[in-house]
Amino acid sequence: MIYQRLLKQFLLILFLSFPILLVAQTNDYKGRKCFGYEKDSCPNSTNIFYKVHQSSRSALFVKGQTSQTPLTIYNGRDYRISLCWDPILGSQVYFKLIDAQTGNVLYDNATNEYASDFEFTVAQTRDIILEIKVPGSSALMEAKSNDEIILVQKDTDMGCLGILIEHMITPSKGF
């Protein structure tokens, strides 16, 4: 009798939670979930005062893809931006910080040996654009520019890329 009641309760819970399990599914690529990739794969700063910024994110990228994401940076804060990616995307990824209002490039990692992280202090509050480019080419990117290609076999040149953004209040300078 008690076993039947427990079995009914278990089945009821399973039945009620099944729709939640369907909604909770994320894109999965070769057993890796890109959702939360930046938290799992990008190294955090060793500075204990840095906190993870809510604009940190990750996505599925293909070789040859360029993507942009907006970010507001605030005066009186230090920021650290770190990129991490699946090895299938190559050994380096390009990124730039661009002033959203003027279009001026504020930082380009190409001038810093394609470093995967960058720390900076903000002197003026600004809206910026973080532009990411994965070098190379893939059949999927070629299909976008060629009207004759209709179908592309699932690309093997794709992987997860994460952007970990950390911030803290700028420490006082001097004594």
All structural domains of the chain, each given as residue ranges with its CATH number in brackets, are 28-169 (2.60.120.680)
pLDDT of residue 12: 47
pLDDT of residue 173: 82
- Structure token pair of residue 94: 């390009």
Distance in angstroms (rounded) separating the CA atoms of residues 18 and 158: 30
Q: Is the pTM of this model over 0.95?
A: no
H/E segment holding residue 71: strand 66-73
Buried b (16+ CB within 10 A) or exposed e, 133-160: bbeeebbbbeeeeeeeeeeeeeeebbbb
pLDDT of the chain, 175 residues: tens digit per residue: 665 565 555 544 545 554 433 333 444 544 457 989 999 899 999 999 999 999 999 999 999 999 999 999 999 999 999 999 999 999 999 999 999 999 999 999 999 999 999 999 999 999 999 999 999 988 777 777 777 777 766 667 889 999 999 999 999 888 8
Residue 13 to residues 5, 21, 24, 153, 168, Cα–Cα distance (Å) = 12, 12, 16, 40, 43
Distance in angstroms (rounded) separating the CA atoms of residues 104 and 101: 8
